[in-house]
Amino acid sequence: MKNKIRELREVMGLTQEQLGELVGVSRQAINAIETEKFEPSIWLAYDICKVFGSTIEDVFNFEESERKSRAQKSRGVV
């Protein structure tokens, strides 16, 4: 899932580690979310958005991901 975390984090002058501390996850988790290697739970997404004072829709772009498409194909749903 695409997101604007990196640009919002940089505007606020936060490092990945600082953002992680604010929301209770590691720097590595923030990096994985920013690089679209990991999709956060709705609760983590909400906490991240609270830090930025933004809505989930403003931070995350819920386009159909390739990962979701593969899962649907494996179940025969296209």
Sequence ranges of the domains in the chain: 2-74
Assigned CATH topology for domain 2-74: 434 Repressor (Amino-terminal Domain) (1.10.260)
CA Rg, the chain, in Å? 14
Helix (H) or strand (E) holding 3: strand 2-3
Cα–Cα distance, 71 to 61 (Å, whole number): 19
Looking at residue 1, its pLDDT comes to 86
State pTM to two decimals. Answer: 0.78
> 66 Cβ partners below 8 Å, 6+ apart?
none
Q: Which residue has the higher pLDDT, 68 or 49?
A: 49
pLDDT tens by residue, 7-30: 999 999 999 999 999 999 999 999
